[in-house]
Structure 1
């Protein structure tokens, strides 16, 4: 079945007048009912057909999150075309590469920079024929086949016969951002998505899912947010789209979502912020906080194992919630209870903390090539510090060099126009090789040890798994980003991006005048402060794992400079090359 049909038809029949999506217009949030949403999707689909888009043609989307993003995605699939998302943060050269490699014919853009980049590509007379612009604020050149979305769909019909699709037909090409190599177009099929969605519903057995409200703030161009948002719509839940992720704190309080997918850094920042505030308070406040988290931990443990909570403990939990937890939850909108988390590992102390507050983080593991999820935490009987258990219809095994290998529902069809590279990531008996190292615990939970490519061997022959150490050092409010260096070196060093907000407060409290970050991060007082804190944080590590030297960076690693991926993972090769001189000075 066509993925667009599976999402729209059922929901229009069941809940036509109920809200499907939400978006911000000027300063207020608006909603579209399922009926209205389907009409706009069908009008857009017919406009694409009128513009010459046929089955299996490629349609690109190069925009920040928006209602138009999702409308264009479903409209493209409805006519049997293949959607090609491009990260809104990609520069002109990166976008042009994807447009040309996928042979996209039409592109939807969101802002002026994306329009200008697409126009340069269109002028080169490659596959691109038309540019559709979602915002009237963007200045366009109509003589170059450029149209505002509103005008593009104005005269088209809202009646549509959705193109029939087989489960093996390609629905989308998602170009992997990856931390290494040239982006490759991952071919995911209609069946990949639909089977994965059904597996999630079978796994969690959600009750009244259509009453849920999800906030999409991670990039829709990434497989994680796109799959999650489509899953929510498939299940009849509402999805609100946040254009600028920097406004997440305000949006949480305005929308009050019940569900939301996020990356580990989001949880680490919330956790570190809460701990810092608790430690800054009076000794009484700190005592109350510590008491509440201990009560929360005890009740969470009982519920995790489906044991009854005694009345006395329930009473204590009520007071813990009133005095402490309700304030933390209120900052996140007050209604969040289910938060899928992926993209990197998340430490036990963070997941336990959220669980004690009454917010369930569903840690999962997967790749673009596996339609996001391979394994994840169930609602109960999960094990902290693992990546959970395989979804129904998914098999996972540990192959050579401890490599995690998988087969089943979500595994991609292959890399677009790259038969050799497709062949290289599959074993002879058809298992997909993830490139990650892992193992199973005695209960069948998957534990990720690290990316095989990221494992580092020091000149003394010791292996370092950087992710675990980096996680340990970023679970606080001092460090925003970190990258370990150890490969072929005699000891571990690191490039550290401080949390500049925290550092600014530290300067005020210690009467250190602010000049510029370049000067501040090179001050002996600041370096010594970080030395002491890092020494404390890595006390229990083996000596060979400890960061012996570090450099404080004066600015964050950025997506648009290619130093980090859109899910905030550091691109090691890029950073190693760019800051080679700084790294050499540490040795």
Structure 2
């Protein structure tokens, strides 16, 4: 048996066990960093740290507090909060108490939050602040099993008239109760951990479905223990790494990162405020971070916009450097694949050195200067954007997984990564491609099933453990996976041609520096069209330079000059497409797509049915007068 197999197969039943081992091994090492706003409310945040021993002290107190509230094994505790260090401590405490976490995005409205709490049977809600408490209070009559709400930020979240006794308490209250409970029974938490079995429920994560109610994905304790060991076995990270964690912890991608960190023992800097990412990176100086493609697209658009604002000469230098970067990445990756060394010809190396001094070095500094690798997941990254960053020395390792597979099923292997693929399966995960191209997965990361939905579970999970992902893909001879599209998202034109819209959309994002979101439409039509929303800062900057200063975003998008600008990029896109893939018509949307309007999932994936329904009039307008209209 190989060392990797031994590492994975000899795993403990839960992450709670791994947490005990980590605290015992490195009690004084730094575990978490978190920001504390300046007392004056002005100036930079102060970053504070928790050692593993300090984290364990808080985790034990919260876990004991939950036990004191009457929580039993597998009882559900819902967490409705943005990404912050308390989220991680509470999630660990829930697991150490033998209970199970239900995650709720803080943006979720009161009705859907109540549905998740009721469907999961959550007995306790850990709410970030008064706003999250208000949602639960509004729907309390529909939540008979919800016994307590624990509030992280107590300001404005006091018990109100009509609340049952003890229904609202603060995290500080819970920790105090837990500490008192531990004085009488010091071994309480260790006893709870010792009783955890690998098949015991650890987490229910609700998928943000594009239609109907979200489904609760049941992930047992063993899923997370396996993920922790498998991430360590990839060799991508080590104990000396510094991870910057901003992803939503309610999402499976964010959650899996906390498991891997416990196994490896490296530092994690936690701050979920997306508007603080650019400010935080030079302070945290991470060696590793994970993100979704939209973040890299925004950085790319921002760099391009800044270069353009610097005048024609600067923008020309940027465009030249971007082309050099892509060529350098493609050549070096191709050579590495063939020979095992990422060599490039002397002439290209010389151009790259010049471009590095002018452009790439500044880009790396913006990421903190120490970033060794960034993992991208949740949706496809346009290869041309991936190659741009790769050539600039910011190595984006695409990965792949679903909520149903505990997030991480594939990841690109370090130096041998290949842009445009999602890499190889994690150790212990099996993959096969079905006759229709669908990717099937099997292994210890696969869910137990959908909560309370046996028929839905049977639709995707075979009796022998193979899970149907709903994604279409191709495996290379040496095991690299390329995702081509969602099975249900493939477009078949009225002419019988199949089109993968995500592929066309990704190519447009690499061509057009102003795009924010694009949806390609063409199912059962005789040509393809697109709905396009623009990146607000980038297009307003362009508008300012082109005689449209002072106009609103909607006014700029409606202006003929803007339509003409984007039409140029659509024509450029079409030059590289097959005839049946080309975009014949498009419409610019009056506002960007967002999570609040339900057009994007919280992990920023496009909800096609929602967007197509909302902008049906624009789609029909584009096909008016054509043969099938």
Please state which band the TM-score falls in when normalised by the shorter chain: over 0.9
Higher mean C-alpha deviation, range 52-61 or range 422-431: 422-431
Residues 11-410 of structure 1 aligned to structure 2 (within 5 Å): 11-26=22-37, 27-141=45-159, 143-144=163-164, 145-157=167-179, 159=186, 160-161=189-190, 162-163=192-193, 164-204=195-235, 206=237, 209-278=238-307, 280=311, 282=313, 285-286=317-318, 289=321, 293=325, 306-307=340-341, 321-410=356-445
Alignment check: 8 A CA contact 1:299 1:317 kept: no
Whether contact under 8 Å (2:305, 2:541) holds in the other structure is: no
Using a 3 Å threshold, how does the CA distance of structure 1 residues 563 and 504 change in structure 2: closer, same or farther? same
Aligned to 2:4: none
Q: Which runs of 5+ in 1 are unaligned?
A: none
Greater shift in the superposed pair: 87-96 or 554-563: 554-563
Q: Are 2:571 and 1:527 equivalent residues in the alignment?
A: no
Would the alpha carbon gap of residues 342 and 290 (structure 1) be closer, same or farther in structure 2, given more than 3 Å must change?
closer
Cα deviation 1:300-324 (Å, max 9, x = unaligned): 6656754275997988876654443
When structure 1 is superposed on structure 2, of 21-30 and 6-15 the one drifting more is: 6-15
Paired residue for 1:492, among 528, 531, 538? 528
Q: CA deviation at 1:285?
A: 4.0
Tell me what 2:487 maps to.
452
Q: Distance in 2 between matches of 1:96 and 1:287?
A: 50
1:538 is paired with a residue whose SS is helix
| Residue of 500, 507, 517 corresponding to 2:553 | 517
Change in Cα spacing, 1:317 to 1:467, as seen in structure 2 (3 Å) is closer
Instruction: With the length of structure 2 as denominator, give the TM-score of the two structures.
Output: 0.88
In structure 2, the CA distance between the partners of 1:543 and 1:184, relative to structure 1 (3 Å rule), is same
Aligned partner of 1:558 in structure 2 is 594
Moved more, 422-431 or 473-482: 422-431
Write the deviation string for residues 526-574 of structure 1: whole angstroms up to 9, x where unpaired. Answer: 2122112211123111122111111111212121221110111111111
Q: Write the mapping of 1:435-450 to structure 2, written as runs, cut at 5 A.
A: 435-450=470-485
Distance 1:17 1:136, change over 3 A: same
Distance 1:116 1:287, change over 3 A: closer
Q: In 2, distance between residues paired with 1:200 and 1:218?
A: 18
TM-score normalized with structure 1 length: 0.94
State the Cα deviation string for residues 478-510 of structure 1 (Å, max 9, x = none): 111111211122221111111121211121111
CA shift, 1:273, in A, is 3.2
Instruction: Select the residue among 505, 509, 515 that pairs with 1:474.
Output: 509
Residues 478 and 170 (structure 1), Cα distance of their counterparts in 2 relative to 1, 3 Å cut: same
More displaced 10-residue stretch of structure 1: 553-562 or 345-354: 345-354
Residue equivalent to 2:543: 507
Partner Cα distance (1:49, 1:299) in 2: 55
Q: What is the deviation of 1:12?
A: 1.6
Distance 2:333 2:392 in 1: 8
Assess, with a 3 A threshold, how the Cα gap between structure 1 residues 403 and 562 changes in structure 2: closer, same or farther: same
Quote how far apart the aligned CAs of 1:377 are: 0.8
Aligned counterparts of 2:57 and 2:484: Cα–Cα separation in 1: 47
> Deviation string for 1:230-280 (max 9, x for gaps)?
212321011122132122111112211111111111122223333455565
- The whole-number CA distance in structure 2 between the counterparts of 1:539 and 1:314 is 29
Cα shift readout 1:53-74 (whole Å, capped 9, x = no counterpart) = 1111000001111111111101
Distance 1:88 1:422 in 2: 27
Whether the 8 Å contact between 1:179 and 1:569 is mirrored in structure 2 is no
State how far apart, in whole Å, the 1-side matches of 2:427 and 2:391 are. Answer: 28
Moved more, 20-29 or 50-59: 20-29
Cα separation, 2, equivalents of 1:323 and 1:535: 30
Q: Does the 8 Å CA contact 1:6/1:234 hold for their aligned counterparts?
A: no
CA distance in 1, matches of 2:482, 2:464: 24
Secondary structure of 2:516 counterpart: strand
Matched with 2:627 is none
Work out which of the residue numbers 537, 540, 555 in structure 1 matches 2:573: 537
Indicate conservation of the 8 Å contact 1:514/1:520, yes or no: no
Kindly indicate whether the alpha-carbon contact (under 8 Å) linking 1:16 and 1:35 is maintained by their aligned counterparts in 2: yes
2:272 aligns to what SS in structure 1?
A: coil
Farther off after superposition, 345-354 or 297-306: 297-306
Shift of 1:426: 2.0
Query: How far 1:369 moved relative to its partner?
Result: 0.4
Do the aligned partners of 1:292 and 1:321 also contact (CA within 8 Å) in 2?
A: no
Q: Is the 8 A contact 1:192 1:409 kept in 2?
A: yes
Residues in 1 aligned to 2:370 and 2:440: alpha-carbon distance in whole angstroms: 37
SS of match in other structure, 1:430? coil
